[in-house]
Amino acid sequence: MEKQKTINKPVSFSGHGLHTGNLTTVVFKPAAPGTGIVFARTDLPNKPTIKADIDHVVDVRRGTTLGANGARVLTVEHVLAAIAGLEIDNILVELDANEPPVGDGSSKPFVETLLDSGVTEQDAPREYIEIEEAITFRDKDRIITVLPWNELRLSVTADYAHRAIGTQYRSIQVCQKEFAEEIASARTFCFLHEVEALKGQGLIKGGSLENAVVIGTESILNEHLRFPDEFVRHLILDLLGDLTLLGKPLKGHVIAIKPGHTPNARLAQKIRRLSGGSEHYAPAESQALRTVKKGRSLNINQIKKILPHRYPFLLVDKVVSLVEGERVVGIKNVTANEPYFAGHWPDHPVMPGVLVLEAMAQVAGLLMLSKAQPGQFAYFAGIDKAKFRRPVCPGDQLLVEVEAVKIKSRSSKMHGKVTVDGALAAEAELLFTVFTPSQNGLDS
């Protein structure tokens, strides 16, 4: 089971804020399990705190601003991205002004500061928000869709009608190493024609070519870029920071076209609304989300210790959440190398429906056998209400979800469904009986 994480010791970083120009020192401090990310304004009476939460977003003009308890903190997204990218769950962020330092316009200074402290595991399980069905936010040409996935993946397209940018695309699986090396140092950017308007709004008082990439009419004003696709990398950075405001790490594949702080916040609000702020299923009108608290994951070696199946008939690659006696969510990656595609059918490969049901049954077997005695097997006793909604083809990833309707020591009834990219592929009710094989046959 993954554990929550915090930092080892207090560390600090100082500099001027991007929009306010105020000189600020930010101090990162360890926090207890379950605390989450909390900002504290030490320059104000009683040191008011603001939890990093989408409900506390009060402004998204050229940055994300949080407000609560009579205090505000501007431009938090780069700090949040650094914390999330290093997979830190609990931390206190103290500031002696109203905006974190801009540094070089990226998350790199915060990442380096936090790594100086070191990241440590805590004695508490990590909690996730898991996507169960596709969720989309659309505003004209800005589109963000979240699909079921077993980790957090961000796939972003930057599409600007400017010769210096053009169209850029990048996709990353969010983890400490890839974030620190590929995303954290990407700098914020703006167009030259926006500068006067932003100054007129009282913004970018601390902005310069030292902490932002500025795009002129024909070319970029800075001497060089850190990456050829630095713009889309920074959009990924901002998106990660804004999604951190969900309060718990997200499991899902986020596909975004022209994201920004406004659509990012609207998506997070939609996820929060659909989840109902609950630690259980979403409301009946949208079963798209839930927060996974108790579920444990299983890798392929752990699966083999429970299921007797082996190649070519083991049809579960990973379990992303197993709550004993309640529910299980498994993954089956369908590749072109599956042996049955040679005959079903060579010119139009389709996974046989009975094998889709078999994958569902094996995931269900993991739930039933998770507390069984060594050597026990789960046998099919019946299948009811089986329906197939769409074909499964090479390249598809099956998200197999099974819930216990009734579980007894020797028998069980379960409901399962299989989705591909958020679309229902199959569902059925499954009946099982547990047997213990012996040398002379089956002992009931």
Output the six-digit token pair for 58.
């009060």
Residue 438 is predicted with a pLDDT of 57
Rounded Cα distance, 436 and 444, in Å:
7
The catalytic position among 193, 261, 348, 415 is 261
Phi/psi-derived region of residue 362, left when phi > 0, alpha when psi is between -120 and 50, beta in every other case? alpha
Confirm if 6 and 91 have CB atoms less than 8 A apart. Answer: yes
Q: What is the CATH number of the domain that holds 415?
A: 3.10.129.10
Residues 220 and 313 in one domain: no
Using pLDDT thresholds of 50, 70 and 90, give the confidence band for residue 249. very high
Residue 262 is predicted with a pLDDT of 93
Please report whether residue 287 resides in a domain: no
- pLDDT over threshold 50, residue 290: no
Residues 376 and 327 in one domain: yes
Read off the pLDDT of residues 316-347 as tens digits, 9 standing for 90 and up.
999 988 888 888 989 999 988 899 998 998 88
User: Is 253 designated active site?
Assistant: no
- pLDDT over threshold 80, residue 167: yes
Using pLDDT thresholds of 50, 70 and 90, give the confidence band for residue 274. confident
Residues 356 and 228 in one domain: no
User: Is 16 designated active site?
Assistant: no
Residues 139 and 271 in one domain: yes
pTM: 0.65
Residues 115 and 136 in one domain: no
Q: What is the CATH number of the domain that holds 149?
A: 3.30.1700.10
Q: Flag the least confident range among 56-60, 273-277, 278-282, 408-412.
A: 278-282
Residues 339 and 377 in one domain: yes
Residue type, 304: K
Portion of the chain with pLDDT greater than 90, in percent:
64
Please report whether residue 90 resides in a domain: yes
Please report whether residue 289 resides in a domain: no
Query: What's the domain count of the chain?
Result: 3
**Residue range(s) defining the domain that contains residue 141:** 129-281
Please report whether residue 291 resides in a domain: no
Residue 380 is predicted with a pLDDT of 82
Rounded Cα distance, 383 and 77, in Å:
49
